[in-house]
Amino acid sequence: MRTLRLALLGCFASIAGPTAWSAAAGAGDDPRSEMAAALAAQADLSPTPIVLPVAAAAPRHAAAASAVKRGTGPRAASDVARTADTAANQVSLHAQAQAASQALAHQAQAAAAAAAGQAQSQAAKDRATHPHR
Amino acid sequence: MSIAVLGVALAAALGVALPPGEVRADDTATARHLLLGVRAFKAERYDEALVELRVVARAPDAPADLAFYLGPTLYKLQRYDEALAVFVASRVPADALTDFYRGQTYYQLRLFRKARAVFAELRARGLGPALHDAAGRYVATVDAAYQAPPAAASIDYYLAAGLERLATDPLVAAEYLDEARQVEALAAQPHRHPEIVAALAAAYNDSGRPQSTIALATAERPAPPPGKTSASPAAPPASPSAPDSELTWQLARARAATGDAAHARPLLDAIIKSRGPHAADATALLAKLAP
């Protein structure tokens, strides 16, 4: 074990040269060397699987258009669209944390579509309830 | 073998020896807080490390390489937006370890193209064996995600995230908008390209980087071929769309900010003549230009 340690340190020293070696030797004396050692030891060496994020752009336009048609402000509609975005990306983030499976990516898109559907459905209900608006 | 021994050796291999003018653990209060912050980081007490490093950040003698300490601490606390702001605002050249944490921060913020670029560059630059392999894994994971062309909804996501941050934090907004630009370049079809470029140009200008705006606009509108004349190497189109007008305005701002009145003036004239949304701003800027 001791031999292996010495061999590895020797290898690093030969790569880095004498200046870096002396910095490592005096690591207890200055914050930068101590921090460098901690950074190297605590780096995340294995990336988590990823799913590309998506925005529910089309539902946002649909909801905004509905709001304009109703003569109401776009704020409520854009809030709903934002909820759809958030839902999609929460599922997307969850998928990233769990696994990079295509199924979860589809789940994210499905959540966005469902939220957008709800927004459009609500807009339609509003129109039906207040046709004169 | 202890992790600490490996860490010290790896740090040495990465060439993170003290740069000139570096803070040492001497008797100043700032140096003491810095050392306390580092010791807390080492012990994985990141909240405590942040408190100490915030004190250092406020000190008049704060080290120029504060991002080396503060960025990774914020990263470990999962405060990724703040970590990114620290990394991109740093004005000293980053060492390999700082860049590794910057890459990880991009990755956690799902700025995967930006992360990939950092890790690929780090591998080319040369890392210790452990980090070299890790950087390779990050690159491979991003490449796997982009095996198929990205969807338009992904481009929309990055553009929306950039626009959302543009007014409050243009430096970070530029990172999202640059990601949007890179993702759009991989898409099967062009998607909101002029909007992305115009917003990115605005973010560069708003974060005090007019040269980046000029480089971006020049790449978008290459100089005319020899023999053809143009008012500017990046002249506005004859009948500009809204994003084109925005890019012209941003380019004019950048030219003016760099003191290039000769190139700024024709752009501002064109904006004023078009009576677009920036006509009043262009008039005011033109009045300020040196004759």
Which residue, among A8, A39, A51, A82, would best test binding to B if mutated, counting the most B CBs under 10 Å from its CB? Answer: A39
Q: Does A31 touch chain B (CB under 8 A)?
A: yes
Q: Does A45 touch chain B (CB under 8 A)?
A: yes
Cα separation of B134 and B170, whole Å? 31
Residue A23 — φ and ψ, nearest 5°? -65, -40
Q: How many CA atoms lie within 13 A of B187 on its CB side?
A: 19
Cα separation of B25 and B32, whole Å? 6
Chain A: give the shortest CA distance to residue B265, in Å. 38
Q: What is the DSSP letter of B79?
A: -
Could you give the 3-state DSSP secondary structure of residue A110? helix
> Which pLDDT does position A23 carry in this prediction?
38
ipTM over 0.90: no
Q: How far is CA A107 from CA A88, A95, B25, B138, B155, in A?
A: 8, 9, 52, 24, 19
Residues B274-290 pLDDT 10s = 998 999 999 999 999 87
Q: What is the DSSP letter of B124?
A: H
Residues A9-18 pLDDT 10s = 333 333 333 3
B242: confidence class by pLDDT, cuts 50, 70, 90: confident
Q: How far is CA A111 from CA A95, B38, B44, B213, in A?
A: 13, 43, 37, 38
Query: Cβ–Cβ contacts within 10 Å for residue A33, how many?
Result: 26
Q: Which of A29, A30, A55 comes nearest B153 by C-beta?
A: A55
Q: Is residue A79 predicted with pLDDT exceeding 70?
A: no
Q: Which of B34, B128, B156 comes nearest A31 by C-beta?
A: B34
Which residue, among A3, A30, A35, would best test binding to B if mutated, counting the most B CBs under 10 Å from its CB? Answer: A35
> Which pLDDT does position B127 carry in this prediction?
82
Average pLDDT score over residue span B219-236: 57
Residue B222: exposure state from Cβ atoms within 10 A (0-12, 13-18, ≥19) = exposed
Say whether B134 and A45 touch across the interface (CB within 8 A). Answer: yes
Q: Does A111 touch chain B (CB under 8 A)?
A: no
Residues B42-65 pLDDT 10s = 999 999 999 999 999 999 999 999
Average pLDDT score over residue span A44-71: 65
Q: How far is CA B1 from CA A7, B97, B170, B279, in A?
A: 12, 22, 45, 68
- Residues in CB range of B207: below 8 A, 6 or more apart: B170, B171, B173, B174
The domain ranges of chain A are: 2-42, 57-129
What percent of chain B has a predicted confidence (pLDDT) above 70? 84
The residue with greater pLDDT, B38 or A80, is B38
Q: Is residue A36 predicted with pLDDT exceeding 70?
A: yes
Residues of B in contact with A4 (CB under 8 A): 1
B228: confidence class by pLDDT, cuts 50, 70, 90: very low
> Which pLDDT does position B129 carry in this prediction?
87
Q: Is residue A46 predicted with pLDDT exceeding 90?
A: yes
Residues of B in contact with A56 (CB under 8 A): 153
Residues of B in contact with A59 (CB under 8 A): none
Q: Is residue A69 predicted with pLDDT exceeding 90?
A: no
For chain A, give the number of residues. 133
Q: How far is CA B110 from CA B115, B145, B186, in A?
A: 8, 11, 16
Cα separation of B41 and B58, whole Å? 19
Say whether A33 and B145 touch across the interface (CB within 8 A). Answer: no
> Which pLDDT does position B126 carry in this prediction?
82
Residues A92-105 pLDDT 10s = 555 554 544 444 44
Query: Cβ–Cβ contacts within 10 Å for residue B212, how many?
Result: 18
Structure tokens at B99: 């860049």
Closest CA to B217 of B247, B177, B179, B256: B247
For chain B, give the number of residues. 291
| Greatest mean pLDDT range, A93-102, A124-133, B235-244 | B235-244
